[in-house]
Amino acid sequence: MLAESGYFTGSEKILKRSLVGPLDLGFDKSVAVTDFHIFHRRDANAPLSERGRWLLDQFIAHGLLTSSQYTDAATALHEAWTAELQFPKAKAAARTPAKSNKRSKLVQA
C-alpha cells in the first residue's frame, strides 16, 4: 500500500526491508528496524510538552523563529497543542489489488 501510494518513489524492496528488517546499510552492514518507522507506537503522535519544546528549538535553529519569540510561541503552543485535542478519524482507503511485477510466461506448444 505504501509503495503504491505515490508518496514513495524508491524501490518497493527497500521499503519492505525498512518495515520488517533487517535494513541493509551496504558494505556488509545491516541493522534491526524496530526504531526506524514508529508510526503511532510509543505515543509518537501524542502532543507532549517535550516534543513541543523540541519543535520550538528546531524552529529557532532553522530560522523560522527568533530566540526572542520563544516565550510567545511556547505559550501559543501550550494553549493549542494539548492531549485534549480531538482529531477526526481518517476514512479507510479503498483497497486496490496489488500490481504484479512478474512477467507472464509464454506457453510453448
Question: Which domain does 57 fall in, by range?
Answer: 45-83
Is 79 inside a domain boundary? Answer: yes
Q: How many domains does the chain have?
A: 2
49-82 per-position pLDDT tens digit: 888 889 899 999 999 999 999 999 999 988 887 7
Same domain? 79 vs 54: yes
Which residues, at least 6 apart from 33, have a Cβ–Cβ distance to it below 8 Å?
17, 18, 19, 20, 21, 22, 23
Mean pLDDT of all residues belonging to the chain: 74
- Which pTM value belongs to this model? 0.43
How many Cβ atoms from other residues are within 10 Å of residue 82's Cβ? 11
